[in-house]
C-alpha cells in the first residue's frame, strides 16, 4: 500500500450523473474504509482535531474503523456530532481537519470526511442506537430554526435532560440541509431525515410552520409560554441582488428560490406540481458553493449552464471539489465577466444578459485582486434564465420583534463568541444568524457552545 495516496472512492460517471439527481459520490465499502483508516498515523498530538469546530475524536474513531469496529467508531463520533452523515458529505474538510493532517505535507491527507460519512452510513444501515439522555432537569428551552445550529443546540440540551422545542418557519425541518444543498450532494430522505430523527429520539420536539416574530415572538415565549432560555439559529436566508437593470424580469431567480423549489418542493420530480421554468441557456451569477449547486441543478434539468464570475478561477470561493464536479458535468465557466444589464423580450421574460469583460487590478480590502472593467468589452450572453447567487444575509424579523436584541451593520445578531449570549438576557444565538452565511460545521460548533452556556446558566 502506498501510504501517501488515498484509497480511491467510487463516483457516478459524470455523463450519467449530469442527467439525474442521485448522489454523485458512492462512498467507501467496508474494506476500502479499513484500508483508508490504516493510513492514519494516530499522531500523539492530533492537529486534525484542533481544526474541527465540534472537536470530534478523529484518530480514535479512525482507529476503530481500521479494526473493523464500526459501532464503536459511530459512538465516538456521536459524543461530539449529531450530524455525521451530513458533515462527512458537505464539510470543507480540506481546510479543516484534513488541512492539518501530517500525511498531507508530503502526500494526500487521510480522507477523514469520507471515513466519517462511511461510519455514519454504516450506523444508519445497521440501526445503531446512539441516544443516551441524562435525568430530566425540569426546565424548558426553545430553539428557533431547525438548521445545523438549532439541531445541534437542541440535541445537546436534550441529552443533558432539558425539555427542548424547536420552532421552524418552514413545513420541514433541516434548514439549508433540506432546502438549499441539492439531493445529488446530500440525499434528503435517507441521510438528512435520519439524522433529524436521531435528534427527535433524544426527546426534542419540532413544531414546523411557526414563524417566530409573527406566529409567536421571543418575548412571548419567555414571558407567557414559560421557556427558561432561547437559542436563535434562524440562519441567513435573505438573498442579495446586484441592482442592475432588468433584475425584476421573469426568468430571474435568486439561487435560494431556485434551489428551494427543487430541493424542498421537489420541482425536479414528476408528480410534484411546484413549477420551475428552466430555459435552454442559464446564467448563474456568482462563484461560491451556492452558485455551483444552482448551476449543477439547472444542468440536470436539461439546460446549457454558464457560471458568470467577475474574478478568475483562483479566486472562486467555491470548494475545489465542487468546481471540479461542475466542470466534469459540463458547466461552462465565463470567468472575468460581469453582468451589467438583463435584457427582456416584449412579454417581460429574460432574452439575454449584457456583460463586460474584467481584468484583475490591485488587491482590495478582502485581500483578493480587485476586478476592473475592460473598456469597450461589452457583449451579450445569449441566455433565457438568470440565477443570482451573490450571497445572503440574516432576515431582520426576529431582531425587529424582540425587545433589546442588538444587531450589527450586516444585520447579524450580536452574540458572544464563546457562549452565544446576546444583548438580551436568556437569549442565545449562533450559526449564520450571527456570522452571516458560513458553513454547516461552524453553525454546529456555535450550537454546541450555546448549549453548554445555557446549561451553565440554567444550573445556577
Ligand atoms: C445552496 C447552499 C449550499 C451550501 N453548501 C454548503 C456546503 O457544502 N458545506 C457547508 O459546510 N456549508 C454549506 N452551505 C452553508 C450552510 O448550509 C449554512 O452555513 C448552515 O446551514 C447554517 O446553519 P444555520 O443552522 O445557522 O442556518 P440554516 O441552515 O439556514 O437554518 C435556519 C433555519 O431557521 C429557520 N428560520 C428562519 N427564520 C425563522 C423564524 N423567524 N422562525 C422560525 N424559523 C426560522 C429557517 O427556515 C431555517 O430552517 C450551503 C448553503 C447553501 C444555501
Evaluate: CB of 398 within 6 angstroms of ligand 1: yes
Mean pLDDT along residues 428-436:
98
pLDDT of residue 293: 97
Angle at 303 between CA 297 and CA 306, to 5 degrees: 80
Instruction: Quote the CA–CA distance of 360 and 370 in Å, as a whole number.
Output: 6
pLDDT of 271 higher than 80: no
- What H or E segment, with its residue span, contains residue 198? helix 193-201
Instruction: Quote the CA–CA distance of 328 and 441 in Å, as a whole number.
Output: 27
Fill in the DSSP letter of residue 236. Answer: -
Evaluate: CB of 239 within 6 angstroms of ligand 1: no
205-233 pLDDT, tens digit each? 999 999 999 999 999 999 999 999 999 99
Query: In this structure, what is the dihedral angle of CA atoms 273, 276, 280, 286, given to the nearest 10 degrees?
Result: -150
pLDDT of 460 higher than 90: no
Mean pLDDT along residues 78-102:
93
pLDDT of residue 17: 94
Contacts of the segment 452-455: beta carbons below 8 A, 24+ positions apart: 452/156, 452/419, 453/418, 453/419, 453/420, 453/421, 453/428, 454/141, 454/153, 454/157, 454/162, 454/229, 454/231, 454/428, 455/157, 455/160, 455/162
pLDDT of residue 1: 65
323-335 pLDDT, tens digit each? 999 999 999 999 9
3-state helix, strand, coil in the chain (%, to 5): 35, 20, 45
Question: From the CA of 50, how far away is ligand 1's center (Å)?
Answer: 24
Question: From the CA of 177, how far away is ligand 1's center (Å)?
Answer: 7
Angle at 87 between CA 22 and CA 328, to 5 degrees: 45
Question: From the CA of 174, how far away is ligand 1's center (Å)?
Answer: 8
Instruction: Quote the CA–CA distance of 124 and 372 in Å, as a whole number.
Output: 51
- SS3 letters for 278-304? CCCEEEEECCCHHHHHHHHHHHHCCCE
* C-alpha cell at position 214: 409573527
Percent of the chain with pLDDT over 90: 87
Angle at 147 between CA 142 and CA 148, to 5 degrees: 100
401-429 pLDDT, tens digit each? 999 999 999 999 999 999 999 999 999 99
pLDDT of residue 379: 97
pLDDT band at 131 (very low <50, low <70, confident <90, very high): confident
* C-alpha cell at position 94: 480540506
Residues in a beta bridge with 179: none
Atom of ligand 1 nearest to the CA of 182: 1
pLDDT of residue 275: 67
User: What predicted TM-score, i.e. pTM, was given to this entire model?
Assistant: 0.93
Query: In this structure, what is the dihedral angle of CA atoms 231, 237, 242, 244, given to the nearest 10 degrees?
Result: -130
pLDDT of 264 higher than 70: yes
Instruction: Quote the CA–CA distance of 125 and 144 in Å, as a whole number.
Output: 30
pLDDT of residue 279: 80
pLDDT of 38 higher than 90: yes
Task: Kindly report the average pLDDT of the chain as a whole number.
Answer: 94
Evaluate: CB of 443 within 6 angstroms of ligand 1: yes
Q: Are strands 392-393 and 238-239 parallel, antiparallel or unpaired?
A: antiparallel
Mean pLDDT along residues 89-107:
93
Atom of ligand 1 nearest to the CA of 236: 30
Question: From the CA of 236, how far away is ligand 1's center (Å)?
Answer: 7
144-181 pLDDT, tens digit each? 999 999 999 999 999 999 999 999 999 999 999 999 99
Percent of the chain with pLDDT over 70: 99
pLDDT of residue 259: 94
Amino acid at each position: 500500500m502506498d501510504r501517501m495516496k488515498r484509497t480511491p472512492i467510487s463516483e457516478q460517471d459524470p455523463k450519467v450523473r449530469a442527467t439525474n439527481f442521485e448522489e454523485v459520490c458512492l462512498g467507501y465499502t467496508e474494506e476500502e474504509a479499513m484500508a483508508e483508516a490504516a493510513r492514519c498515523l494516530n499522531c500523539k498530538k492530533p492537529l486534525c482535531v484542533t481544526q474541527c469546530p465540534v472537536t470530534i475524536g478523529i484518530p480514535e474513531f479512525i482507529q476503530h474503523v481500521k479494526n473493523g469496529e464500526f459501532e464503536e467508531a459511530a459512538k465516538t463520533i456521536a459524543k461530539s456530532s449529531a450530524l455525521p452523515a451530513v458533515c462527512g458529505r458537505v464539510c470543507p474538510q480540506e481546510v479543516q481537519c484534513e488541512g492539518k493532517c501530517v500525511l498531507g505535507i508530503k502526500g494526500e491527507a487521510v480522507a477523514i470526511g469520507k471515513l466519517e460519512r462511511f461510519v455514519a452510513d454504516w450506523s444508519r444501515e445497521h440501526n445503531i442506537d446512539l441516544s443516551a439522555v441524562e435525568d430530566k432537569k425540569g426546565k424548558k428551552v426553545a430553539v428557533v430554526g431547525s438548521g445545523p445550529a438549532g439541531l445541534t443546540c437542541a440535541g445537546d440540551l436534550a441529552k443533558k435532560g432539558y425539555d427542548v422545542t424547536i420552532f421552524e418557519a418552514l413545513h420541514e425541518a433541516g434548514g439549508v440541509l433540506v432546502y438549499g444543498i441539492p439531493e445529488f450532494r446530500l440525499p434528503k430522505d435517507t441521510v438528512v431525515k435520519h439524522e433529524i430523527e436521531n435528534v427527535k429520539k433524544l426527546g426534542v420536539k419540532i413544531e414546523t410552520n411557526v414563524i417566530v416574530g409573527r406566529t409567536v415572538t421571543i418575548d412571548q415565549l419567555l414571558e407567557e409560554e414559560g421557556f427558561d432560555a432561547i437559542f436563535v439559529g434562524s440562519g441567513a436566508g435573505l438573498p442579495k441582488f446586484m441592482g442592475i437593470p432588468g433584475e425584476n424580469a421573469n426568468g430571474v431567480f435568486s439561487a435560494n428560490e431556485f434551489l428551494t423549489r427543487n430541493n424542498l418542493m421537489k420541482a425536479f420530480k414528476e408528480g410534484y406540481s411546484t413549477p420551475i421554468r428552466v430555459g435552454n441557456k442559464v446564467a448563474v451569477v456568482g462563484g461560491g458553493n451556492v452558485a455551483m449547486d444552482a448551476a449543477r441543478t439547472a444542468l440536470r434539468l436539461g439546460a446549457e449552464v454558464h457560471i458568470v464570475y467577475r474574478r478568475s478561477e483562483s479566486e472562486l470561493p467555491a470548494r475545489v471539489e465542487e468546481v471540479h464536479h461542475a466542470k466534469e458535468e459540463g458547466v461552462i465557466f465565463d470567468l472575468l465577466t460581469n453582468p451589467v444589464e438583463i435584457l427582456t423580450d416584449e412579454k417581460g421574460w429574460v432574452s439575454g444578459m449584457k456583460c463586460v469583460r474584467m481584468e484583475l487590478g490591485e488587491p482590495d480590502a478582502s485581500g483578493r485582486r480587485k476586478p476592473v472593467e475592460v473598456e469597450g468589452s461589452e457583449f451579450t450572453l445569449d441566455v433565457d434564465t438568470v440565477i443570482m447567487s451573490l450571497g445572503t444575509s440574516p432576515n431582520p424579523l426576529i431582531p425587529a420583534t424582540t425587545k433589546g436584541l442588538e444587531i450589527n451593520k450586516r444585520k447579524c445578531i450580536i452574540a458572544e463568541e464563546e457562549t452565544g449570549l446576546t444583548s438580551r438576557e436568556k437569549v442565545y444565538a449562533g450559526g449564520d444568524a450571527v456570522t452571516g452565511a458560513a458553513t454547516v460545521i461552524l453553525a454546529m460548533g456555535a450550537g454546541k457552545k450555546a448549549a453548554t452556556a445555557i446549561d451553565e446558566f440554567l444550573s445556577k
